[in-house]
A and B are shown apart, each in its own frame.
Chain A
Amino acid sequence: MKRPLPLRAAGALLLCAAAALCGCAEKTRYGDARGVETVTNQFGSTDLQMIAESMTRSMLNAPVVASNNMPIITVQEVKNKTSEYIDTRSITDSIRVELQKSGRVRFAVDAAAMDQQIEELKRQQSDYYDSKKSSEIGKMVGAAYRIEGNITSIVKEAKDMKDVYYKFSLQLWNVQNGLLEWADEKEIRKTTSR
C-alpha cells in the first residue's frame, strides 16, 4: 500500500530540519592557550605572549637587573598608539609576572594600585586592628627604576590584502637620575590575504 503524500513530505521536512540542526550545532573544545593564534590579524594572544617573553628575557640581560642587586621597579603606562583597542595593562602584567618569577627584581606598588594600597594602610590604623601587628604608615619603599613604553602600528590595506605591523617599545628608566638603563623593541608583522 502506498503511503499518503503529505506524510512522506512531512518526513522529508523532518529529515531536513534534523540535518540543519546538526549543521548549526555548536561545538566547544579546549585549545592550547600558548598556541599560535591566527584567527584575525588584530592584536592577539600570541602577540601579547611573544612581546611579554621577548621583553622579559631581554631585560634580564640588562646590567641593572643582571647584577643580582634585586632592583626595585615600578610599572608605568604603556601607551597604545595603534588604531585598535589593546589592553596594554595585560602586557605589562605579563611582563611583571615573568620578571617576578625570575627572582631578579622586586616590584613596588604602581600608580594604578596606589589607591588600594593606601586604603589598606589606613584601614589597618583603625581600632579594629592590633596596632603592634599593623603595617605602619611611612614605611613604603619607592622604586629605583620605572618601566614605561608604547605600542604603535602601521596598517596597510589593498583590495585583497591587509598588512599590520606592530612595534612594541619598552624602557627602564632610573628614577633618581633620569638615565635610561635599558630599552628594547619587539616587531611583529601579520599579513592577511583573501
Chain B
Amino acid sequence: MNLKLTVLALSALLAAAGCASTKKDDGLVNGCPAGSSKVKSLDDLIEAKLEKAGSIPHIDVVDMRCSNRSGLLRIDADLKNTSRDVRRVAYRFRWLDREGMRAADDEAWKPLLIYGNTLYTITTTSPSQDAADFRLVLMDQDK
C-alpha cells in the first residue's frame, strides 16, 4: 500500500514538473526542432538556435516558439531591448534540412528597430518543406 502511494506521489510530482518546464515532445522544444543538439529547456533552445554575428549589447532573445503549419515551420522569436535607448539590429534565418545541410539560399538581412525596454517578435515561415531546422542570426546595426 505504502509502495503504491509512493509511486503515485512520484508520478504526480513528475507530471507537475513536466507541466512547469518547457513543452518538449518528440525532439521538439516549444514546438521547435531540437536537431542534434541536447536541448532540454528554453535556454538550451535559444542557445542552440541563436547565432550572433559579433556582440550585440542589450539585445536578448527571451522566447522562441515554433509550430507546424501544413508542413512548413512557423517561428516566433521574442527580442528584448534591455536598454533605455532605441537599438537597431539586423536578422535573418538560416535554414537547414533534416541532415543539417543548407536547405535554402541565404536570406536577406532584415533591419529592425527596437525601442528601449520593449519586446519585439520576429515572425517567419520556412521557405519550403525541406527546411526542417533553423538558426536565427543577429547582427548589430548601431556600430
Please list the residues of chain A having a beta carbon within 8 angstroms of any beta carbon in chain B: 32, 34-36, 46, 49-50, 53, 56-58, 60-61, 66-68, 98, 101-104
Contact = CB atoms under 8 A, between A and B. Distances in A.
B70 A35 contact: no
A111 B125 CA distance: 30
B108 A61 contact: no
B127 A49 contact: no
Interface in B47-93: 69-72, 74, 90, 92
A101 B125 contact: no
Contact of A34 (B72, B104, B109): B109
B41 interface: no
Given A53-B110, A58-B125, 17 more contacts: A34-B106, A36-B109, A36-B111, A49-B108, A57-B124, A61-B70, A61-B72, A61-B74, A61-B125, A66-B69, A67-B70, A68-B70, A101-B127, A101-B128, A102-B128, A103-B128, A103-B129
Q: State which size class the interface on B falls in.
A: 20 to 34
7 contacts: A32-B109, A50-B108, A53-B108, A57-B125, A61-B70, A67-B70, A101-B127
B71 A68 contact: yes
Contact of B125 (A50, A60, A68): A60
Contacts of B109: 32, 34-36, 46
Contacts of A104: 128
A34 B53 CA distance: 15
B141 interface: yes
A98 B108 CA distance: 12
Chain A binding surface SS class: helix
Contact of A61 (B69, B129, B141): B69
B43 interface: no
A101 B103 CA distance: 11
Given A57-B127, A101-B127, A102-B128, A66 B70 contact: yes
Contacts of A98: 127
B44 interface: no
Nearest to B74: A61
Contact of A46 (B70, B71, B111): B111
Contacts of B25: none
A58 B125 CA distance: 8
Contacts of A56: 127
A71 to B, nearest CB: 13
Given A67-B70, A102-B128, A46 B104 contact: no
A46 B108 contact: yes
